């Protein structure tokens, strides 16, 4: 696992089924980094490295990880399988591949059986996965929650500015 540089503990684990998912998944890392939250990134494949996947899921909480973001494409079993082996919240990112416009990835991730939730974002929605991870951490971290509220005020201001520009 590659860890980003920061003095605080690693709180978010960002994993993906293949390094080919990184161009999509990078947005999750950038969003988390925007809020100064430390994260780790790694390739963990449900199909090609099943034991590594189970080890990662089972050890993550003990290593101090609080939220896992898992991205995969095609027969995208990684987020669901990781969720089955950890008590941590798991956010799934459907990565679009060459065929089916990512619908295969979306349906593989979103249709979880009762009892094993995966918070699934939109196809390619890695940035929202990062922002959701920050919100989850913010529930018990007032400072982070404050930063998220500030971010939201920024979004609001952006829309108001665009509206004003349009009216001129």
Residue set of the binding site: 18, 21, 48
> For ligand RP5, what does the binding mask look like between residues 30 and 69, x meaning CB under 6 A?
---------------x-x----------------------
42 SS3 class:
strand
> How many angstroms separate the Cα of 74 from the Cα of each of 71, 86, 107, 118, 138?
11, 23, 9, 17, 32
Token pair recorded at residue 107: 């349906």
Give the count of residues interacting with ligand RP5 (CB under 6 A): 12
Residues in region 149-168 near ligand RP5 by CB under 6 A: none
Q: Does 72 bind ligand RP5 (CB under 6 A)?
A: yes
> What's the Cα-to-Cα distance from 105 to each of 5, 49, 62, 147, rounded to whole Å?
31, 19, 29, 32
**Interface contacts to ligand RP5, rule CB under 6 A:** 16-18, 20-21, 45, 47, 72-74, 95, 97
């Amino acid at each position: 696992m590659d860890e980003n540089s920061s003095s605080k503990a690693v709180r978010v684990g960002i994993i993906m089924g293949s390094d080919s998912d990184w161009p999509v998944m990078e947005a999750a890392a950038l969003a988390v980094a925007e809020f100064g939250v430390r994260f780790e990134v790694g390739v963990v494949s449900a199909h090609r490295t099943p034991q590594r996947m189970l080890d990662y899921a089972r050890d993550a909480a003990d290593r101090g990880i609080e939220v896992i973001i898992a991205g995969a494409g095609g027969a995208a079993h990684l987020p669901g399988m990781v969720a089955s082996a950890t008590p941590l919240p798991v956010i799934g990112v459907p990565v679009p591949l060459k065929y089916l416009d990512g619908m295969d990835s979306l349906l593989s991730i979103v249709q979880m059986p009762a009892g094993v939730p995966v918070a699934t974002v939109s196809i390619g929605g890695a940035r929202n996965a990062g922002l959701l991870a920050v919100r989850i951490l913010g529930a018990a971290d007032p400072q982070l929650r404050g930063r998220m509220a500030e971010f939201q005020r920024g979004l609001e201001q952006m829309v108001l500015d665009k509206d004003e520009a349009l009216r001129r």
